[in-house]
Amino acid sequence: MDLQGLLPALSSPSAEVSPSPSAESSDLLSLPWEILIHIASHLPAHCVVNVLPKVCRTLSNVGEDATAWQLRAQRLIGSKARFPVGPREDFNWPTACLEMEQLITCWAGEVQHVTKQSEENEKEGDQVRLQERGRVPGGHENIGGSEIDRVGVAAQEVAYGADEGIEVVMEAEDGEMQPDLDGDQMARLREELEGSLEVGAAALNEDGRMWLNADVGPGGAHHDQNDLGYPRHVNNRGQAEMIQHQSSRSPSPPPALECITLPSSHIASVNSVLLLGGKGALCATASRDYNVKLWDLEASPDGMLLHTLGRKGDFTSHRGWVWCLASEGSFLASGGFDSTVRLWDLQAGGTDRGLIRAGASVLCLSCQTDVLLAGTFDKRINMYDTRAAEPLIKSVRLHGNAVMCLAADDTYIISGSADCTVAVYDRRALKALKKIKLSSFLSSMSYSGHEVWAGDNKGMLHSFSMQTGTLKPLSQFDVGHTALVNGIHRSQGSLYTCSTDKTVKIHIPSGPPRTLCTLCHPAEVHGLSVEAGIFAVAAGDVTVNIWRPRK
């Protein structure tokens, strides 16, 4: 809802200051407080946070009503979901609602867009099929080899979309997932593919597809994945699913976003990606080709390579796979299988700032203002002061196996290990506080506020509360991942996850999480990074995709 008409003072030059009383504005401000709150609840969160305070002091107080924000959050996630999952003390409700609305706008708004595109492409597909049938009257019994190929291409274009074609499955009123094509059309396609053309599902190139799912509610019926009448379901939970035939181009993003693929530069899988600079203008990538690369995402429409980082006299950034990245302020740290942590100065164009020998492969990093933390394959957590000549502050062994993930604040370190434990360490008291035994090991972790979210090697998500050094398990969620979750980012109103099952999922961080969208890639996804509304994904096929608000 636009404020124009609701508050005439907004269009006046004096909108930046408290307007003088007028008949119209005084009528609005004379309404009971409950009515004003109700009116404001229909405005976008960004309007309540950024615009109303500029109108007058009374309306600026609207954004300070915690109950109104909680009711807004409940409308966004539904009455059955729990939000927040962790403690409610000191929870920033306005920020959470603002992030949730932006997330929904960006990632859940593509369903209508996809539906419209599917209708257009269905008509185009029907025309192609009719043209092909018109060329070969009398059926397919005596078709030559080249003609069979043409019909096969046409049938596959109809079933999976011609070039940019899209097939959509929407939830029907009775809760079942229904195909956009009717039963007779699908039966004819199956007959053509399986009978005349002898093409089975195995002949279709699965790596050439990219799926975009949008959550539309519970109750979707399960369909056999081998049935060509239905597209493959990722989690069979009543989602609208889009399957798009993809060549070497970037996946088609939702309408509110644009997707770019960084120019091919690495020659091996990209293990890690990190957005830098506070605004997502810079990006660092780490690869199994031993290199760390620095990118400018604003220099050109598809991003531009700035530097391949390296020490003087070295041909590569590391002498082994580069596995992880972390950054704080003007410096970037990279850890690798060469048992080193390398430091780079971002203000000086990524020049070498130092080398730290960790003694074992570095699997995870975390940067704080005064310390760099490294989790290693030899079960240790190393604490470094990067300004000192002898950077090692302390090395602790809290686990019985490799340290897979780390998260920290200025007091506590939380670590997950391949021994299926998660531990808490007090940096100030220099002692371990707690260790929790799990049934699986944590492979990725995100810590903000009083909540810790983590992904494990079985595809599950775990949530913990963290208050005054006490880590408490809260819930375990199945969001549809079927393999190791190797990337997770949680903020107060958003949750991003990626997995080696080749999927990336965007959720609202409620209990259980509300999945807005699923992106399926042709190769394993190795990591993700989120900053200032920009979302980066690193994959095993040497690609790095960046989703950002469309300009």
Contacts of 310 (CB under 8 A, 6+ apart): 291, 316, 317, 352
> Model pTM?
0.74
Q: How many CB atoms lie within 10 A of CB 523?
A: 14
Q: Work out whether the CA dihedral 296, 101, 176, 183 comes out positive or negative.
A: negative
In contact, 526 and 240? CB cutoff 8 Å: no
Tell me which of 33 and 161 has the higher pLDDT. 33
Long-range pairs for 26-29: beta carbons < 8 A, 24 or more residues apart:
29/56, 29/58, 29/59
In contact, 199 and 154? CB cutoff 8 Å: no
pLDDT in tens, 470-529: 999 999 999 999 999 999 999 999 999 999 999 999 999 999 999 999 999 999 999 999
Please state the rounded mean pLDDT for residues 98-125: 73
Res. 412 pLDDT band, cuts 50 70 90: very high
Instruction: Answer whether residue 417 shows pLDDT above 50.
Output: yes
Crossing angle of helices 66-77 and 93-107, in 10° steps, is: 30
- % of the chain at pLDDT higher than 70: 71
Quick one: 528 exposed, middle or buried, by C-beta within 10 A (0-12, 13-18, 19+)?
A: buried
Inter-CA distances, 65 with 6, 172, 449, Å: 20, 39, 21
Closest CA to 136 of 154, 122, 159, 113: 154
Side chain identity at residue 151, one-letter code? V
Long-range pairs for 184-187: beta carbons < 8 A, 24 or more residues apart:
186/228, 186/229, 187/229
Starting from the edge strand earliest in sequence, which strands make up the sheet with 351-357, in order? 322-328, 331-336, 340-345, 351-357
Q: Looking at 24-33, 101-110, 279-288, 423-432, which range is the least confident one?
A: 24-33
Res. 207 pLDDT band, cuts 50 70 90: very low
pLDDT mean across residues, the chain: 77
Instruction: Answer whether residue 446 shows pLDDT above 50.
Output: yes
Instruction: Answer whether residue 171 shows pLDDT above 50.
Output: no
pLDDT in tens, 49-96: 999 888 888 888 888 889 999 999 999 998 889 999 999 988 999 999
Tell me which of 126 and 482 has the higher pLDDT. 482
Q: How many CB atoms lie within 10 A of CB 317?
A: 25
- % of the chain at pLDDT higher than 90: 51
In contact, 383 and 393? CB cutoff 8 Å: yes
- What is the rounded distance in angstroms from the CA atom of residue 544 to the CA atom of residue 535? 11
Candidate ranges 52-56, 174-178, 223-227; pick with highest mean pLDDT: 52-56
- What is the rounded distance in angstroms from the CA atom of residue 466 to the CA atom of residue 434? 12
Run of H or E residues at 329:
none
In contact, 388 and 348? CB cutoff 8 Å: no
In contact, 232 and 226? CB cutoff 8 Å: no
pLDDT of 475: 96
Task: Give me the residues paired with residue 408 across strands.
Answer: 413
Candidate ranges 179-183, 232-236, 271-275; pick with highest mean pLDDT: 271-275
DSSP 3-state of 183: helix
**Residue 79 phi, psi dihedral angles, 5° rounding:** -75, -20
Name the residue with tokens 């048992």: 339
Residue 303, by phi and psi: left (phi above 0), alpha (psi -120 to 50) or beta?
Answer: left
Tell me which of 173 and 262 has the higher pLDDT. 262
Res. 26 pLDDT band, cuts 50 70 90: low
pLDDT of 117: 61
In contact, 505 and 518? CB cutoff 8 Å: yes
Instruction: Answer whether residue 218 shows pLDDT above 60.
Output: no
Instruction: Answer whether residue 139 shows pLDDT above 70.
Output: no
Give me 122's structure tokens.
């269905």
Side chain identity at residue 463, one-letter code? S
Q: What secondary structure does DSSP assign to 53-89, as a single string?
A: HHH-HHHHGGGG-HHHHHHHHHHHH-SSSBSSSS--T
Instruction: Answer whether residue 272 shows pLDDT above 80.
Output: yes
Instruction: Answer whether residue 335 shows pLDDT above 60.
Output: yes
Q: How many CB atoms lie within 10 A of CB 21?
A: 11
pLDDT of 23: 43
Closest CA to 436 of 447, 424, 428: 424
pLDDT of 440: 96
